[in-house]
Structure 1
Amino acid sequence: MAAASWYHRDISRVVAEELLAKAGRDGCFLVRDSESVSGAYALCLLFQRHVHTYRILPDDEGLLSVQVGAAAGAKCFRTLPDLIGAYQHPNNGLVTPLLYPVHRARQAADEDLGEPGRGRRGLL
C-alpha cells in the first residue's frame, strides 16, 4: 500500500495554506510535518475560507492524538490513517469533518516512497 496521498511531508505552512485555498472547499485537508515541534504533524483543514491548523502529537508509546479543545477529550491512534478516518465524522472537536483530501503532486509521492524519513510511522 502506498503512503497516504494527503500526507505532504515537509511542506511549509504557507504552501499548505496555498494548496487548501486552491482546493477551495470546506472540509479540504492535508497533513504536513510540524515546523515547530520535532516528530509532530500539522493537520491543516479549510473551513469558511480559513485554514485551521491542529497539532498531532505522539505520546511516549508512539500513539498519535490531535490537540483539540479540552471538551473533546484525548483520542489516541496507532497510525495517521486511523486518526484521519476517525476525524472524517462530525462532532469530533474539529471545525468541520475531514471530507476532501488534498493530494500531493505525483512526483513528490514517488520521491517519498523511496526515502526513509522521520515521522513516517504508520503511513506505509
Structure 2
Amino acid sequence: MDLPYYHGQLTKRECEALLLKGGMDGNFLIRDSESVPGALCLCVSFKKFVYTYRIFREKHGYYKIQTEDGTPKQIFPNLEELISRYEKPGQGMIVHLSNPIMRKNFCPRRQRPTLQPNIYENTNSDYVDVLP
C-alpha cells in the first residue's frame, strides 16, 4: 500500500503512543487490524484518547468504513478518497482528520528521484561536502 500514513502491522499500543505523542487532536494513521483479518484500522486521536474505525474492503476493491450509528454508510473507490472525506468536519467521526502521522521509512514507488543540478561546477576547491 503506497500511503505515507499506512503503518502496516503496527500494534494498538504502538499506534496509541505515536498518535498521542504530540497531544494534538486529529492525529491519524492507518494500520492493519490485529483482531479482524483483512481489515484496516483508521486511528485518530481526540482528547488524549485514540478512536479506532475499521475499514473493510468490499467487492471490486471498494472500501467501507464503520462509523457511528445513524451515520449513512459510505463506500469509497480508494483509501485516498476515504481520508479526504473525513478531513472535513461533521462527517461522522469524533473529530476530523487533520494531521497524518507519516511512516519514517516511506518512499513511494511511483515517485522518481529528482536530479539535482551540478552544484560542483566552477568550484575552486579540491574537496566538496558530501550531502546526505
Query: Normalized against structure 2, the TM-score is what?
Result: 0.76
Q: Which has the larger radius of gyration?
A: 2
CA offsets 1:67-88 (integer angstroms, 9 cap, x no match): 0123111111111111001100
**Structure number with higher helix proportion:** 1
Aligned to 2:67: 68
Report the CA distance between 1:60 and its aligned residue.
2.9
Report the CA distance between 1:58 and its aligned residue.
1.3
Aligned to 2:94: 95
Size of the aligned set, in residue pairs, is: 109
Q: Is residue 24–residue 45 contact of structure 2 (8 Å, CA) maintained in 1?
A: yes
CA–CA separation in structure 1 for the residues paired with 2:79 and 2:22:
22
CA–CA separation in structure 2 for the residues paired with 1:72 and 1:86:
13
CA–CA separation in structure 2 for the residues paired with 1:93 and 1:21:
21
CA–CA separation in structure 2 for the residues paired with 1:61 and 1:39:
15
Identify which of structures 1 and 2 has the higher relative contact order when contacts are C-alpha pairs closer than 8 Å and 6+ apart.
Answer: 1
Query: Normalized against structure 1, the TM-score is what?
Result: 0.81
Aligned to 1:119: none
Does 1:22 find its partner at 2:54? no
Aligned to 2:55: 56
Q: Which sections of structure 2, spanning at least 5 residues, go unmatched?
A: 110-132
Runs of 4+ aligned residues of structure 1 deviating over 4 Å after TM superposition are none
The share of aligned pairs that are identical, in percent, is 36
